[in-house]
Structure 1
Amino acid sequence: MKRGFVTETHVVVYCDGCGDIYSEGENESICFDSINQAVAYLNARSGGVGWLYDGDQVRCDGCLATARCAEAGHVFPESWQTTLWSLGKATRSRTCEVCGVPEIEALP
């Protein structure tokens, strides 16, 4: 039986692109017993969305979305949202449906 303070070794997953830590819920990292357990967990949980391990690097969902848009371009909705600012200035904006990057234009 273990008692008191015990030092143990575990595996935590970080994105190779941005350094974000893999977590679920309250942004607390998940500790795995081994790299193999972490890889199996990511492969079972991601299901094509989320984090991806390609056999060499681990990428978070944000880095995967950014890479997709860098290769194929952003996917913006047809409609714009107009915002009226103080002093009578106005802008229109829309957000990429893949990576979340906004496109904003000033209106005359």
Structure 2
Amino acid sequence: MRTGFVMECHVVIYCDGCGDTYTENTGEGICFDTVNQAVGYLNARSAGVGWAYDGDKVLCDGCQALARCTEHGHTFPERRISLRRLTKTTHSRTCTVCGISETEVLS
């Protein structure tokens, strides 16, 4: 039986791209007993949460989206949002894959 403070080792999943911790509802990193357990869990859940392990790197959904846009270009909707402020008009749009926005000043 263990009592008091006991130091134990565990595995936590971090994104190789940005360093974010894999979390679910609580915002706390999940602790696994082994790397194999963490890989199995991530592979079983990855379709629903967007994290992926390719055998070498772990990437969060945001880093995967950024990598996709870097390789293939951003996917912007045709419709732009126009804002008119005093003397300047701007058009803006947001990539539907990675969420980056682009703004063009017209006048």
Length-normalised TM-score, structure 1: 0.90
1:84-103 per-position Cα deviation (integer Å, ceiling 9, x unaligned): 33x33221111000011111
* Aligned equivalents of 2:60, 2:7: Cα separation in 1: 29
Unaligned runs of 5+ in 2: none
Length-normalised TM-score, structure 2: 0.91
* Aligned-pair CA distance for 1:49: 5.4
* Aligned equivalents of 1:3, 1:49: Cα separation in 2: 36
3-state DSSP of counterpart to 1:47: helix
* Aligned equivalents of 1:57, 1:37: Cα separation in 2: 16
- 2:103: which partner in 1? 104
Does residue 1:79 correspond to 2:79, yes or no? yes
3-state DSSP of counterpart to 1:21: coil
CA 1:70–1:101: 2 relative to 1, 3 Å = same
CA RMSD, Structure 1 to Structure 2 (Å): 1.5
* Aligned-pair CA distance for 1:18: 1.2
Does residue 1:30 correspond to 2:25, yes or no? no
* Aligned-pair CA distance for 1:107: 2.2
CA 1:70–1:49: 2 relative to 1, 3 Å = farther
CA 1:26–1:49: 2 relative to 1, 3 Å = closer
Matched ranges for 1:8-87 at <5 A: 8-47=8-47, 50-85=50-85, 87=86
* Aligned equivalents of 1:35, 1:6: Cα separation in 2: 21
Percent identical? 64
* Aligned equivalents of 2:80, 2:33: Cα separation in 1: 48
User: Between Structure 1 and Structure 2, how many residues are aligned?
Assistant: 107
